[in-house]
Every structure is written in structure tokens, then in C-alpha cells.
Structure 1
Amino acid sequence: MSRRDLIDPASRIPLDAMRAMMPEGLQSIPDITERRAAAAAMALAVEAPDNPNVTKEDRTVPGPDGAPDLTVRIYRPVDQAGPLPGLYYIHGGGMILGDLASEDDVATKICDAVGAVVVSVEYRLAPEHPHPAPVEDCYAGLVWTAKSATELGIDPQRLAIYGGSAGGGLTIGTALLARDRGGPALSFMMPIYPMIDDRNETLSSHEITDIGLWDRATNIEAWAWYLGGKDADQYAAPARAGDLAGLPPAYLDVGTVDLFRDEDIAFAQRLMQAGVPTELHVHPGSYHASEMFAPDTALSQRIWAHRLDALRRALA
């Protein structure tokens, strides 16, 4: 049986349509600039309309020492008095793709549904900017967000961090940096199907080879570009972290037809063993980011219902 046969039938429809147009997936585009343009076009194809309940503002804030400034996009619920919970948002894209615009609809959705001030960060991408540039950018943006909490209308006791895929790996890497540097206190983290292990040794990393969205060959290539020929440390590949104690309470989810399935389940188990309160959801039939490609399916709505419930509980 092909792993594709295990995908939720309704969620498979847009995936098959994409494969019909691009049989070998995004990895078939060797030029990174062209690949980013194709990924951006795919993101726009499922873009949600503007939400009148949310305002948006872009700002330039300090980057890491000696590095360029960062752009952040700030989302605020309309007509809600502060201070509100804060959510620091890190977009996905395998460390090589993505930007603020690619997940604007998701950040807007969370802002509206949870009633939080969301700060989304634009970080530098590999291969032009390998590790540690992306995670250092994310950490610098988090430091600015925490220092600006009063101005932003954020309750500093309710500051969480969220990201999917590469953004999930950067969420954990940033939380590790905050712990180890005595940085901003995080009340919660939500790494969604996080990209956290450069070794590609798990069973699921060998199983997922022909789905068309973040298969084994794509992941190996992305890790090589992200590491730039250097060995991974725990801030690049959090699965390598020896000590997970002291990280904030966590929520993880991943699909059964996702390359990251086994590394994420193992990481959630290690968080629990380290005494970190952890909630884990494994969704049958879900492929990588299926809720973004097939947002109207019953499966996607269940995935989002669990996430938003967890965020509301964590930030109450």
C-alpha cells in the first residue's frame, strides 16, 4: 500500500490537483528563487479574505547584534481592551521558503479566535542565511516583543510562541535560547508538526517519499541548506537537545502521513519525561500542512478546533 492511500480522502483532493500540475512537487524546481515564487503562489491560492475583526501593522525592529533589522507584523483584535495575551508567531517553509504574507491568514485567524495580540516575524532564510541566522532572528524578535509588551498591549505573564513545520522547529529552538540565555519568559509553546531532526533516521522519514509535500528528498536538501555544511546543535535541530527541562508547557500535533510524525512523537514523549506539561495530538489521515491546503475538510476543522481550544486554555 502506498502511503498516499492513507490520506484522508477529502484532504487529498487539493493535493492531487497540485500533483497534476507539478508531478514531482516543489522540489522539482531547482532554483530557490523560482521555488519560493511557486510556494508563494500556492499560499495565495488558499488565502482567506480580510478579517474586519483584526487590524495589522508592520514595523521594523532590531535584529541580532551586527545583523539587519527585522520586519514584524502585529495583529490586534478590534474592540478588545488590553492587556491581552500575546502570541509570537514564526512562519514555516522548511527554513528555505515562506514569509509574513504566506501565513497572514493563519496569524489573522488565531488573533481573532483567541483574542490575542499576535506578532509575526520575518526571519532570514537558508541557503543564503544558514543556521544560526534564522533562529537568532526569531530570538531577537521575541526579545523585542517582550520588551515592548506594555506598548503592544500584551500581558507579559501570558506570552506564548507558535510556529508550524520549520516555524515549529524555530519555536522550540527560540524557546531553548530563551531558557538558556535567561531571556523572555514564555507561558506556553505550540510547535505544530515541527521540523526538528536533521538525521532523517526515523521510520516516518523513510516512509514519506511520494506525497508531494515535504517528502524525504526535500527534507534532506533543506537540512543541508539550513546547516550550510556545519554540524547541527540543539538550537538548529531541537531533537538533539540533551535537556528539555525548563521549557514552557507545550502542545504538539502531527499527522500520521507526515514525514515528521515519529520525531515529533518522540520529542513530545521526551518533554513529558522532562516534566514539561505536554499535549500531543496525532491526526489519522493528515499529511504535512494538510489543514492549510484543505482548510474546509472535517479533518482540518478538527485540527483547528483542538489548537484553538488549547491556545484559549493556555492564555486564559
Structure 2
Amino acid sequence: MVSDYAKVSEEWDTFRKTMPEIPEILEVQHNPNVLAMIPAFHPPIEYENITIREETIPVTDPQGEIKVRIYTPTDVQGPHPLVMTYAAGGYISGTLETEDAICREICSQAHAVVVNVDYRKVPEYKYP
């Protein structure tokens, strides 16, 4: 059974044809100009009550390492809650840098240890 709602309206199709082509998401992901703009939209604040360090975690299948950035509050004695973050890029975009500002804020304001994972992305790494 075909629904009347599954069809593209003439008005929308006419409008869509006037719009420029949308670039493929991978073109946007790897565009250095796009990546350079990210800090301008949400610049990180230098909080005095946190420390930040980067570590690498060895992984297999395929062999390699994944970087993590760890944000630790320094003004409140632990134990601290733990927040794990992964860029909301659908496994195709996002970096430690794109999530840096929000990780700093969570750490500083919630007094939580934040671990930001720079997970592997497509097309270099295929799921599963």
C-alpha cells in the first residue's frame, strides 16, 4: 500500500531544484576550512579549576591506538562522577577539538572527570 504522504510535493520539488547542491558529508568532514571554523562557534573557556591531559589507549582489530582527552576537576576532592563523551558526528565526524569546550564546561561546573574519546571514523574504519 502506497501512502499519499510518501510522495514529494510539486512545491517542494520546485523549491529543491533552486537550491545549490549539498556536499557529501565526507567532503565537509575533511574540509580544513570547516574544521578551522569550529572553535569560533564555541571557543573554549580557560577554567582555572580543571586540568587536561591526553592519553592513548591501545586497541586491536585493527591494531592501533585511540586518543582520549581527560578533564579532571582540581577544586573539589574526589571521588568524582565520570562522564564519557563521544562526538555526536554519527561515526563520520567530530574530534577531540570539536567537543573540547563542552567537556571543559562539564568538568568545571559538574566537578566530574570527563573522558572525551576520539573514536575511529568512516570511511577509514568500517563497522563492525
* TM-score, length-scaled by structure 1: 0.31
Matched with 1:60 is 56
Instruction: Point out where structure 1 has 5 or more consecutive residues left out of the alignment.
Output: 1-22, 133-316
Matched with 1:104 is 100
- Find out whether 1:129 has 2:113 as its counterpart: no
User: Which residue, out of 26, 47, 50, partners 1:51?
Assistant: 47
User: Which residue, out of 85, 92, 105, partners 2:88?
Assistant: 92
Distance (Å, rounded) in 2 between the aligned partners of 1:131 and 1:71: 19
TM-aligned CA distance change 1:111 to 1:30, over 3 Å: closer
1:1-316 equivalence runs, <5 A: 27-28=22-23, 32=27, 35-46=30-41, 47-132=43-128
TM-aligned CA distance change 1:30 to 1:76, over 3 Å: closer
Distance (Å, rounded) in 2 between the aligned partners of 1:93 and 1:36: 15
Distance (Å, rounded) in 2 between the aligned partners of 1:24 and 1:77: 46
TM-aligned CA distance change 1:36 to 1:51, over 3 Å: farther
TM-aligned CA distance change 1:65 to 1:105, over 3 Å: same
Match of 1:119, SS state, is: strand
Q: What is the CA-CA distance between 1:93 and the residue it aligns to? A: 1.9
More helix by share: 1
Identity score, percent: 33
| Structure 2 contact 44–104 (Cα < 8 Å) conserved | no
Which protein is bigger by CA-based radius of gyration? Answer: 2
Distance (Å, rounded) in 1 between the aligned partners of 2:114 and 2:33: 27
TM-aligned CA distance change 1:34 to 1:121, over 3 Å: closer
Match of 1:100, SS state, is: coil
- Number of paired residues? 109
Distance (Å, rounded) in 1 between the aligned partners of 2:79 and 2:29: 42
Distance (Å, rounded) in 1 between the aligned partners of 2:83 and 2:38: 22
Distance (Å, rounded) in 1 between the aligned partners of 2:99 and 2:93: 12
Matched with 1:237 is none
Q: What is the CA-CA distance between 1:48 and the residue it aligns to? A: 2.6
Q: What is the CA-CA distance between 1:39 and the residue it aligns to? A: 3.3
Match of 1:81, SS state, is: coil
Distance (Å, rounded) in 2 between the aligned partners of 1:117 and 1:106: 13
Q: What is the CA-CA distance between 1:66 and the residue it aligns to? A: 4.3
Q: What is the CA-CA distance between 1:105 and the residue it aligns to? A: 0.2
Distance (Å, rounded) in 2 between the aligned partners of 1:66 and 1:32: 25
| Structure 1 contact 39–97 (Cα < 8 Å) conserved | no
The letter for the 1-side match of 2:82 is G
Distance (Å, rounded) in 2 between the aligned partners of 1:87 and 1:74: 10
Distance (Å, rounded) in 1 between the aligned partners of 2:79 and 2:57: 21
